[in-house]
Amino acid sequence: EAGVAQSPRYKIIEKRQSVAFWCNPISGHATLYWYQQILGQGPKLLIQFQNNGVVDDSQLPKDRFSAERLKGVDSTLKIQPAKLEDSAVYLCASSLVDYIYYEQYFGPGTRLTVT
């Protein structure tokens, strides 16, 4: 079974520029999550989709961050304009809606550096 795919793996941009990350979840996984992980901290949920609907975006800085999941499969997360404090690893995860385990599977992440 193929895992969660993310690209790019690394990105360096200057502040005030825009950037986009892409995620392709495990086939059949209806739930998709985007997390932000700042160095030395645990992942923090930014947005959660179920199919192509948003379940939770309460911690997404909506003035600069946006995300979409068209057709309920892959997803993009965009930052515009970027700030220095956005430097972090952006992790995508997916899970089945199986009503039993809700086990999350993570991609390798995208490391963003804002200079």
Partner 1 sequence: KQEVTQIPAALSVPEGENLVLNCSFTDSAIYNLQWFRQDPGKGLTSLLLIQSSQREQTSGRLNASLDKSSGRSTLYIAASQPGDSATYLCAVTQLNTNAGKSTFGDGTTLTVKP
Task: Mention every residue, 6+ apart, whose C-beta is less than 8 A from residue 77.
Answer: 20, 21, 23, 34, 46, 47, 65, 66, 67, 90, 92
Contact 113, 38 (CB under 8 A): no
Task: Mention every residue, 6+ apart, whose C-beta is less than 8 A from residue 29.
Answer: 94, 95, 96, 105
Q: Show contacts with partner 1 in window 69-108 (CB under 8 A).
A: 91, 93, 95, 97, 99-108
User: Which position has the token pair 């690394």?
Assistant: 10
Q: Minimum CB separation from partner 1 for residue 40, in Å?
A: 7
Q: Please say which residue, 17 or 50, places its beta carbon nearer to partner 1.
A: 50
Residue 25 binds partner 1 (CB under 8 A): no
> Per-residue x/- marks for partner 1, 36-55, CB under 8 A?
----xxxxxx--x-x----x
Q: Which residues bind partner 1 (CB under 8 A)?
A: 4, 31, 33, 35, 40-45, 48, 50, 55-56, 91, 93, 95, 97, 99-109, 111
